[in-house]
Amino acid sequence: MNIAIGTCIFGNFNRYYLFADSVRMLKKTFDKKGHNIDLYNVTFEDENLEIDGFVRLNQLVRDNRSINSNSNSKMPFVKDIFNILSSLKDYDYFIFSNADIIFTERLIDYVVTSNFDTFLVSRLEIEDIDDINSAIHVSKQSPKFEIQGFDVFISRPAWWTLYSDRFPDYIYGKVAWDNHLCILFSLYSDVDILNYSPPMIYHIYHTQNSDNLDSEYLYNINQLWNKYPLYKAAWSAYFDDIVSKRPLGDDEVMYSLRSPSEEKKRKIIFRLAREIEEGKHGELINENNIREIKRFIKSRLQDLIQ
């Protein structure tokens, strides 16, 4: 299998080097298993950061200043990154990862033996480590799977090309875009959501900048929650009512156990959401009323799960 792993590295943090080390090790391991993994760093046209083992793709043109000329930062749009990776030739899958993630061999083993259109992967928070050979210890401050969002996104290039127009512009490095991708993957693809034990990816716990209440944050929030009431209702039915209610696992890690019925419920929720989007329940609900949509989904879910 041929896989492209891409990221966006702009800064100089130790956790970025750990990410690079982890995927370089994956490349060596899976080369020996008969698979090909190529590594890419997607950057702006004027960036010149070289990372050993990575091909630099200086193809990003647009940035957040096109919507906020007063911004002090320069951040790309998620869609542009995915479009660049999906346009690479002769890959079975492209993977996009945030640059502070540590990959496990287990994730790629799973992908190459599966046949899903897409995958979403949530991280397990861990304590700081010196290198990728260090022992892994669950974070004491945040001993959990980060189920509210995702850090690794995997897609067949043909699927992304077909459905990318449904994904609006989101600013990378801010919230909400990963939730929107989860919704789209769930609505229009055969997706596997890997947000439970055993962990597929790790993340060294640190304070987050993505939820700072700046203009980019508000822009992203508005893109999803204010413009797509159906999606907000479906996400709430899935996340608030099901995933966030997982019991504490035997390993004392929050949200590590997925019940046997959870995936069945997710599929029903998003099947109903797609039916609503296609106008099949227009006589029963107002598709712009979030509470009404969620009430309908919860009612039908109870009937269909029996």
Domain coordinates of the chain in residue numbers? 2-212, 228-306
- Region 55-61 average pLDDT: 97
* Token digits of residue 188: 């229009």
- The C-alpha atoms of residue 119 and residue 238 are separated, in whole angstroms, by 17
159: Cβ–Cβ under 8 A, 6 or more apart, which residues?
Answer: 117, 118, 189
The CATH code that applies to domain 2-212 is 3.90.550.10
pLDDT, tens digit (0-9, with 9 covering 90-100), for 213-231: 788 999 999 998 889 999 9
Judge whether residue 209 has pLDDT over 70.
no
What are the CA-CA distances from residue 155 to residues 123, 164, 169, 190, 203 (Å)?
18, 11, 18, 10, 21
Residue 11 has what pLDDT?
73
Max Cα distance, the chain (Å): 59
pLDDT band at 39 (very low <50, low <70, confident <90, very high): very high
Give me the percent of the chain exceeding a pLDDT of 90.
Answer: 82
pLDDT band at 211 (very low <50, low <70, confident <90, very high): low
pLDDT, tens digit (0-9, with 9 covering 90-100), for 72-109: 889 999 999 999 999 999 999 999 999 999 999 999 99
What are the CA-CA distances from residue 47 to residues 2, 11, 170 (Å)?
27, 11, 21
pLDDT, tens digit (0-9, with 9 covering 90-100), for 139-188: 999 999 999 999 999 999 999 999 999 999 999 999 999 999 999 999 99
pLDDT band at 262 (very low <50, low <70, confident <90, very high): very high
Judge whether residue 206 has pLDDT over 90.
no
